[in-house]
Structure 1
Amino acid sequence: MATTETYPQPKDRRYHSVKGAQYTLPNDDPEHVRLETQAVHLSALMSDKIIHSTLRSQPSKILDVGCGTGVVTTALATRYPTARVFGLDLTPVPNILGRQVPSNIEFVQGDILNLDNGQTPKDSGLALASPERTGMEAIRNGHFDLIYSRLLLCGLSDWPGYLRTAASLLAPNGWVEVHDMDWIWYDESSNAISDKWEWLKVLRKSAEDRGLDFECGSRAAGWMRDAGLVDIRVEEYYWPFGGEWEEREEMKQFGEYVATEMPRMFMHVILKVNERHGYTEEQVGRWQEQMREDFRPEKGKHWKFYVTCGRRSA
């Protein structure tokens, strides 16, 4: 079984403390570093194409849901300097050393599934030039040209409800864009190879008990249709497990990052997601060892990363 020095236990980490929230990953400095590094690799994966929706040339209002460290929020505010850009997260966005936060950003603490509660931190940068007294009021008032989210897989407990809410907050011809994945592993020939992994079956069942969905990437398009969105488009990206065999340098680096960081993250997820079920230390240790074996880098082993866009009709 892995040592606590290599794989810190949940008791050693800090988490979101919002009552009822199901987000399973930590909210502390090591996690912020991981998210920032991952964002760099995902940007390279998509050739720096952050937004896939067909926005009007000068959008006026943008929402980044589950903004984390604010790295994408900052990129959106920089790209669209005349837009009011809101970053929504369960807890305050950390102060990343050296990052210049554009003046058109406002970070808001709250839950997209419970917009009746929420607050704007006092040090938020944007001075609201509108009748709204707070950023949360501005979010509830809607009229967004873009509502964006990335990798809410480990935290969002009601995807259909989220997309219905997002659709209702759009301006006419506004877009919802979801960047997410399925926790299904594929081989070089795109055959699923994870169907019989015992640790993943247990983890999936525990996640479902929390309302999480481990196939949200491929299901996002259907939920968008159910929410009444149109012009739905899906683009798939290849997320490698191991970089030794990759030809493109950015994919080689991404694969090496995944081979190192994903086992660490999943060691933690196995402990955190299953903690409510009373499994023995021996059971959890066995699943961790199985996971470590299943995560060995192999040529062609990959996830599918989905970008799904849907538009509200005029």
Structure 2
Amino acid sequence: MATSSQYAERTYHDTSSPYVLPNDTPEQARLDEQALAIQSMLGGKPFLFDVRLLPSKSKILDIGCGTGVATTQLARQCPSSRAYGIDLSAVPDHVKASAPTNVTFLKGNIMEDLSEQGLQEQSLDYVFGRMLFLAIDDWKEYFSRVHHLLKPGAIVEHQDCSWEYYRQGTQTKLSGNWSWHQAVLEESQAMGLDILVGDHVGDHMRAAGLEVLLTRSFEFSMVPSEKNIPSAAVGFYAQRTLLKAFPDLLRKILTKRDLYSDQDVSKLTKECLETSSAEEGIFVKYTVTIGRKPAQ
């Protein structure tokens, strides 16, 4: 389905998807580092639902699997089940070679019919998605697709950010009057993206006919703090790696409609990098939402 397109010396998915992040080797390394940091933030668990409770020979799907970290974890925790990982770009060959035998990696778009690749309606026992806020431009359709893929009584777990900034340990919003944040919010909305979707997943699940079982938010620190040890790993990851990805990300978003000059983008990017590290423990909300398809 997808070849790669070149943009600002980075390689990107060449698809109809709005996904704005790269698919090259540096991005794959970032995704691996991010997965480990998030797992630490969640108390050492990649999933809040205990997937070991799934029935034997379950069929599991990891949407937007990237480098296959979560897919592989699911397969190892559920050795009698089949774990599928799907992404717009192919999973790296070395990951495929080392993956458990109960893993199947697919290249495709979850918004399209994937029945010929083994993902039929009402065939899945558990669906997992993580950090898709820069990839999905129709959340109503996304969770409708998930609903159709799930068996009655099956589970969906979604983990995502709301990309706005708060003071550590409070609900005091810091980013409300930041020029760069307002620009990114407006331009991402024009692309159909919801960068605040972490706060909205529960509503989308209910609208799709799913029952919400759990909603739990975490502080995804952008600057590590001794006052929040569980989020220290994501804070160090943000400072070491994530912030370095922001200039390309902002350029991709802010130049989509040609409303901002190169000078504008540079100025807004500078503000972004400064404010994203404005104080110790500054964070964005990371929310885990677990839902279930009603049993028939």
Would you call these one fold, judging by a TM-score over 0.5? yes
- Per the alignment, residue 125 of structure 1 pairs with none
- Per the alignment, residue 38 of structure 2 pairs with 42
- Per the alignment, residue 76 of structure 1 pairs with 74
Q: Cα 1:41–1:289, aligned 2, differ >3 Å: closer, same or farther?
A: same
Classify the secondary structure of the residue corresponding to 1:14.
Answer: strand
- Per the alignment, residue 173 of structure 2 pairs with 192
Q: 1:61 pairs with 59, 83, 86, which one? A: 59
**What per-residue deviation string (whole Å, max 9, x for no partner) do you get for residues 183-208 of structure 1?**
11001222011011111111111111
CA distance in 2, matches of 1:68, 1:16: 12
1:258 aligns with 2:255: no
User: What is the 5 A alignment of 1:8-19?
Assistant: 10-18=7-15
CA distance in 2, matches of 1:305, 1:141: 29
**What per-residue deviation string (whole Å, max 9, x for no partner) do you get for residues 242-269 of structure 1?**
1243463x63343122123232222111
- Check conservation: 2:276, 2:282, Cα contact below 8 A: no
Give the drift of 1:84.
Answer: 1.1
After superposing the two structures, state which structure 1 stretch, 282-291 or 45-54, moved more. 45-54
Q: 1:87 pairs with 85, 88, 102, which one? A: 85
Give the TM-score normalised by structure 1. Answer: 0.86
Give the TM-score normalised by structure 2. Answer: 0.91
CA distance in 2, matches of 1:50, 1:161: 26
Q: 2:22 pairs with 5, 17, 26, which one? A: 26
- Check conservation: 1:77, 1:83, Cα contact below 8 A: yes
Q: Cα 1:244–1:307, aligned 2, differ >3 Å: closer, same or farther?
A: closer
> What letter corresponds to residue 215 of structure 2 in structure 1?
V
- Check conservation: 1:182, 1:217, Cα contact below 8 A: yes
CA distance in 2, matches of 1:172, 1:97: 32
CA distance in 2, matches of 1:98, 1:92: 10
Tell me how many residue pairs correspond in the alignment: 286
1:283 aligns with 2:264: yes
1:268 aligns with 2:264: no
User: What is the 5 A alignment of 1:175-186?
Assistant: 175-186=155-166
- Check conservation: 2:121, 2:149, Cα contact below 8 A: yes
Give the drift of 1:16.
Answer: 0.6
1:232 aligns with 2:228: no
CA distance in 1, matches of 2:289, 2:11: 31
| CA-based RMSD | 2.0
CA distance in 1, matches of 2:14, 2:42: 33
CA distance in 2, matches of 1:247, 1:46: 12
CA distance in 1, matches of 2:122, 2:62: 13
Query: Unpaired runs of 5+ in structure 1?
Result: 1-8, 117-131
